[in-house]
């Protein structure tokens, strides 16, 4: 059974890194790269070998209503691939970037704990187990946000920690209510016993989980912590946070709980739509006003998460396919944009768009890849962002929500304006830069080029034959709703 290895490998690496590391960080780099690439290979094998089936692993061989199951279906396998991919490029990018902050093995140990937490959340089939893994991921994320050790980084980390502790308390309260009503903690068993309970109970638990995981998703009314935390963290960590952490702790858990456990109650789908529309408009609009490149990217993350929520809220297979597709795409291009910001910061010593000048000649790869990423995120064909936004907009029109489709189009135009600002004032600005303060090394360039190629390659997912093999099994798992419970319990 390969399921426990998704948790064991990164956790073991996190444990071994402090043991093998002395003064140099070579051991830590090699170990963490080996761990993450083996995770990516395993996830790829799992996704291709799964073929729409569901694997269940019973921890310590306890029978199901009592024990804790690990569940691997198409949705979790896809999420595992996403985490593995972004973690691998992020580590490749980190090597040089982190040496600037000090040759430190602690960064790699914390990074592996972050990956452990995220993989655990994705693969577990137990509500309280999910809570524990979520806290593990959050601990590592909080420490990594403050890793630079400057005053504003501690400030951002404290703000994030307070918001995270409020949301975790709400989630724990939700778990307590669920347990009080059903005496169950496994997601599958809860889904079965909630089906014949009163709608009021679904309302209570749904409300608590929506508020708790809404904060982790950073949808618009719950977003206050995100711009600070994501812009203060080291750039590879910003890519991990924006690219995958808000999606595993937020979007993935919301999909799992509201579709597979609660069976997609219409009231909460409407809330998804509302949150999505507000996030799309305000997130992109606020992004335009920023001059700090990483703050601009962070606000734009809120807007892009809005698209995913919109697709989820429509409740149609096409909308869900669009949401899943946009989730993958956003992980790819937003991580790439954060690497670009990190490379620019390394080379120019600033993140302020007004301080950057005409760098297309000095940094051809950085500016070229950032152009590709900007085109993708603002939805220009033939890049991936265009297709996923188009799918969501078509799904909205088909579902009779033409106002929301209009909101999505307007939001896309506004986000294009924000990225035109990045390109026009930042990378192609009038202020000429004479010399660079730092060097963008081969590893950083490699990480950026890999993701830039993926920006084009993932648009192939829209081709019907490819889509049948990749997106459709994931959408089937989600749209089958509480069928999940029967599959896991083996009936």
Partner 1 sequence: MTLYALCFALFLVGLYGLLTKRDLIKIILSSGIMGYACNLMLVLFGYRRGGVYPILERGREAGPMVDPLPQALVLTSIVIELGVTALLAALAIRLFQKYRTYDITKIRRLSG
Binding site for partner 1 (CB under 8 A): 128, 131-132, 135, 139, 142-143, 146, 151-152, 154-159, 161-162, 165-166, 168-169, 172-173, 175-176, 179-180, 183, 185, 224, 227-228, 232
Shortest distance in whole angstroms from residue 110 CB to partner 1 = 12
Q: Which of 160, 290, 279 is nearest to 225 (CA)?
A: 160
Cβ neighbour number for residue 265 with a 10 Å cutoff? 15
What minimum distance in Å lies between the beta carbon of 32 and partner 1?
Answer: 22
Q: Sort 62 into a burial class: Cβ within 10 Å, 0-12 / 13-18 / 19+.
A: exposed
Question: Which CB sits closer to partner 1, 162 or 466?
Answer: 162
> 55 - beta bridge partners?
72
Q: In this complex, which beta carbon is closest to partner 1, that of residue 104 or of residue 135?
A: 135
Which CB, 292 or 480, lies closer to partner 1? 292
Which residue number, 48 or 165, has a Cβ lying nearer to partner 1?
Answer: 165
Please tell me the distance from the alpha carbon of residue 420 to that of residue 171, in angstroms, as a whole number.
39
SS3 148: coil
Q: Report d(CA 117, CA 168) in Å as an integer.
A: 15
Q: By C-beta, is 223 or 421 nearer to partner 1?
A: 223
Residue ranges in 349-428 assigned as alpha helix (H): 364-377, 384-398, 402-421
Token pair belonging to 184 = 């169950």
> 431-450 burial by CB neighbour count: b if 16+ within 10 A, else e?
eebeeeeeebeebbbebbbb
Task: Supply the minimum distance, in Å, between the C-beta of residue 376 and partner 1.
Answer: 28
User: Minimal CA–CA distance to 336: which of 234, 451, 455, 227?
Assistant: 451
Of the pair 200, 465, the CB lying nearest partner 1 is at 200
CB of 255 to partner 1, least distance (A): 24
**Which of 39, 31, 26, 38 lies closest to 14, judged by CA?**
31
Q: Confirm if 80 and 25 have CB atoms less than 8 A apart.
A: no
Provide the minimum distance between the beta carbon of 293 and partner 1 in the complex, in angstroms, as a whole number. 15
List 428's β-bridge partners, or say none: 358
Q: Which is nearer to partner 1, 185 or 477 (CB)?
A: 185
Phi, psi (5° rounding) for residue 292? -75, 120
Q: How far is the CB of 154 from partner 1 (least distance, A)?
A: 5
Question: CB 193 → partner 1: shortest distance, Å?
Answer: 15
In the bound state with partner 1, the residue whose beta carbon lies nearer, of 289 and 349, is 289
Q: How far is the CB of 486 from partner 1 (least distance, A)?
A: 24
Using CA atoms, how far apart are residues 218 and 285, in angstroms rounded to an integer?
Answer: 16
């Amino acid at each position: 059974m390969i399921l426990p290895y998704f948790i064991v490998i990164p956790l073991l690496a996190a444990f071994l890194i402090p043991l093998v590391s002395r003064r140099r960080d070579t051991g830590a780099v090699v170990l963490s790269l080996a761990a993450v690439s083996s995770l990516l290979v395993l996830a790829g094998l799992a996704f291709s070998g799964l073929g729409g089936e569901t694997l269940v692993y019973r921890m310590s061989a306890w029978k199901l209503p009592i024990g804790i199951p690990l569940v691997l279906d198409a949705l979790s396998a896809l999420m595992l691939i996403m985490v593995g991919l972004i973690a691998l490029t992020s580590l490749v990018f980190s090597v040089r970037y982190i040496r600037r902050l000090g040759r430190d093995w602690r960064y790699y140990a914390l990074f592996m704990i972050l990956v452990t937490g995220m993989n655990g959340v994705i693969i577990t089939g137990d509500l309280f187990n999910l809570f524990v893994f979520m806290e593990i991921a959050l601990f590592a994320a909080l420490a990594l946000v403050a890793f630079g050790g400057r005053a504003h980084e501690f400030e951002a980390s404290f703000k994030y920690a307070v918001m995270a502790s409020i949301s975790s308390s709400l989630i724990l309260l939700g778990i307590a209510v669920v347990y009080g009503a059903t005496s169950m903690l496994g997601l599958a068993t809860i889904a079965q016993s909630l089906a014949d309970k009163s709608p009021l109970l679904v309302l209570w638990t749904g409300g608590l989980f929506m508020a708790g995981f809404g904060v982790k998703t950073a949808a618009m009314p719950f977003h206050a912590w995100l711009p600070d935390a994501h812009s203060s963290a080291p750039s590879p960590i910003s890519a991990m946070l924006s690219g995958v952490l808000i999606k595993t702790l937020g979007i993935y858990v919301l999909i799992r709980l509201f579709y597979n456990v609660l069976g997609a109650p219409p009231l909460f789908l409407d809330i998804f739509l509302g949150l999505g529309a507000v996030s799309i408009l305000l997130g992109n609009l606020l992004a335009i006003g920023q001059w700090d490149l990483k703050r601009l990217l962070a606000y734009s993350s809120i807007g892009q998460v809005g698209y995913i929520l919109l697709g989820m809220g429509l409740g149609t297979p096409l909308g869900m396919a669009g949401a899943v597709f946009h989730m993958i795409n956003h992980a790819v291009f937003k991580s790439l944009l954060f690497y670009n910001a990190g490379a620019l910061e390394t080379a120019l010593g600033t993140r302020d768009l007004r301080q950057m000048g005409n760098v297309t000649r000095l940094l051809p790869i950085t500016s070229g890849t950032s152009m590709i990423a900007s085109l993708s995120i603002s939805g220009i064909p033939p890049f991936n962002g265009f297709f996923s936004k188009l799918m969501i907009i078509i799904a909205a029109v088909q579902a009779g929500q033409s106002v929301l489709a209009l909101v999505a189009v307007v939001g896309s135009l506004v986000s294009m304006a924000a990225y035109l600002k990045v390109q026009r004032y930042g990378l192609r600005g009038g202020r000429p830069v004479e010399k660079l303060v730092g060097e963008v090394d081969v590893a950083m360039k490699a990480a950026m080029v890999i993701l830039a190629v993926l920006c084009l390659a993932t648009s192939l997912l829209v081709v019907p034959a490819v889509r049948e093999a990749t997106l459709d099994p994931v959408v089937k798992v989600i749209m089958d709703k509480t069928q999940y419970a029967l599959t896991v319990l083996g009936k």
